[in-house]
Structure 1
Amino acid sequence: MRKPRLIALGVLVAALGSGAAWPQRARADTAATATQSPDSVRSAAEQAVREHYALPGGRVVVSAAPLDLRLRLDACREPLRAVIPAHAATSSRMTVPVQCPQPGGWTVRVPLRLELFRQVLVTSRLLLRGDGLGAADVHAEERDVTRLGYGYIDNLAQVAGRTLTRALASGSVLSPGALGGRRMVRAGDRVEMVARLDGIEVRAAGVAMGSGDNGARLRVRNESSGKVVDAMVSAPGVVVALP
């Protein structure tokens, strides 16, 4: 009769033994899951970049590169914090630090690819050096400004009355470096004509037949005589007759 009881006791011990292993396995499983998801780190970096560069009428396209699969981070109890400097350079590739702000937390640098689409001014036709710029000369197009290393212009007010320092083909993005000063004289303006000879100075009213900045040559029609003369721009609204 003892043998069946011993067998039953052995079964119970075995059952208790296997049961004793369950809490250990559960703790091991808990420890294994107590890590921060790499996707959550990448998402925090992407969201921070979207918010940093968001502008009305623009589009932000950002994607984080996969993190190292060997990276194991303790689960963060606080919301993750991505750090982007206020004056960070706009680049197609950037790295954003993501922090776990709790005591003893960690920081991971997340590499990102950025596309930043804005409405920029583009030439509507071939423009030559010295040409003035107006509403008919440019139009707005959406471009990825991270690829515009020379900058861009997005406001027509910035080009009104300006001239080009170099020729631009149709479809070229306007950059600050392509713009010269504002024209001191524009075609159709009433100007003061100044003629100097042997210390004698004569002034007359005229109408500019061209546009130009200081030092530019243009034709001017004398309002009184109707004679057209060559002149050089010397100040806003003032030209000097050339011999």
Structure 2
Amino acid sequence: MIHRLLAAAVALLACPLPAAATQPLDAVRALAVDWLQANRNLPGARMTAEAGPLDSRLRLADCAAPLQASLPGNRPLGARASVVVRCPVPGGWTVRVPVKVQMFANVLVTSRPLARGDGPGAADVHSEERDVASLAYGYIASLDQIGGRALARPLNAGTVLTPGMLAGRQAVRIGDAVSMEATVDGVTIRAEGVAMGAGDAGARLKVRNASSGKVLDAVVSGPGVVAVLP
């Protein structure tokens, strides 16, 4: 009898236990990509996302509930993201999936070299599709976003315009035709001139009288208008 029990125990130990079901890692990676494309896409942009590899030694228990994904911190989406995928059951697991992101949208690019103080116009820039996820300093999509501002530094041709490249708004820019006003004994005299500087209202600059060529000191009064100083 004892021999029969021992034989049965040996036979039982010899039979391998069924392996616990595991969550396919490819399914976890695919969920991270699908969630990003559905939730963090930029309107009007074309997005591609590729999940990086997970450790092949990783063993995740098969989840009894639908997996959930998120991007912690609500940070702007960059060229690399770390998507959190979790099994939302008691004692469930959490894993971070690295994802490489490309997001293509039209941005403004300089068509020719531009000088500091220039106010970019339609003849100075053109639209190109670029990977905006890799543009860490942002970008400008249309001339409407510039709103009369000028460049804070010179730019080479082919440069993507970013908000940091623009100085404050300028009512008068270098080379603008301006109306020069001077008040003498209560009488306002007006003449045409050319701005030799740039600035918003209150800024002091020099202007050249278009008729005489004389250079005068003036203060910007408003868009295209300067007050000549005595």
- Per the normalisation by structure 1, the TM-score is 0.75
Q: CA RMSD in A?
A: 2.8
Match of 1:235 among 211, 214, 221: 221
Asked if 1:194 is matched to 2:182, the reply is yes
Larger radius of gyration: 1
Structure 2 equivalent of residue 183 of structure 1 = 170
Q: Measure the CA separation in 1 of the matches of 2:109 and 2:102.
A: 19
Match of 1:206 among 187, 191, 216: 191
8 Å Cα contact 2:182/2:229 also seen in 1: no
Matches within 5 A, 1:41-190: 41-85=28-72, 87-185=74-172, 187-189=176-178
**Shift in Å at residue 175 of structure 1?**
1.1
8 Å Cα contact 1:95/1:111 also seen in 2: yes
8 Å Cα contact 2:122/2:143 also seen in 1: yes
Asked if 1:218 is matched to 2:203, the reply is no
Percent identity over paired residues: 44
8 Å Cα contact 1:120/1:153 also seen in 2: yes
**Paired residue secondary structure (2:144):** helix
After superposition, give the CA deviation of every residue in 1:137-176 in whole Å (9 maximum; x if it has no partner): 1111111223222221112111242211110000001111
Unmatched runs of 5 consecutive residues or more in structure 2: 1-7
Q: Match of 2:157, as an amino acid?
A: S
**Paired residue secondary structure (2:31):** helix
In the superposition, relative to structure 1, how do residues 41 and 160 fare at CA in structure 2: closer, same or farther (>3 Å)?
A: same
Q: Measure the CA separation in 1 of the matches of 2:205 and 2:130.
A: 34
**Shift in Å at residue 195 of structure 1?**
6.1
8 Å Cα contact 1:194/1:201 also seen in 2: no
In the superposition, relative to structure 1, how do residues 192 and 219 fare at CA in structure 2: closer, same or farther (>3 Å)?
A: closer
Q: Which has the higher helix share?
A: 1
Q: Measure the CA separation in 2 of the matches of 1:102 and 1:161.
A: 55
- The total of aligned residue pairs comes to 211
Q: Measure the CA separation in 1 of the matches of 2:113 and 2:137.
A: 19
Q: Measure the CA separation in 1 of the matches of 2:187 and 2:163.
A: 39
Q: Match of 1:149, as an amino acid?
A: A
- Per the normalisation by structure 2, the TM-score is 0.79
Q: Measure the CA separation in 1 of the matches of 2:80 and 2:226.
A: 51
Unmatched runs of 5 consecutive residues or more in structure 1: 1-16
Q: Measure the CA separation in 1 of the matches of 2:72 and 2:180.
A: 52
**Shift in Å at residue 123 of structure 1?**
0.5
After superposition, give the CA deviation of every residue in 1:6-53 in whole Å (9 maximum; x if it has no partner): xxxxxxxxxxx9xx98xx76x71xx44x21010111111111222233
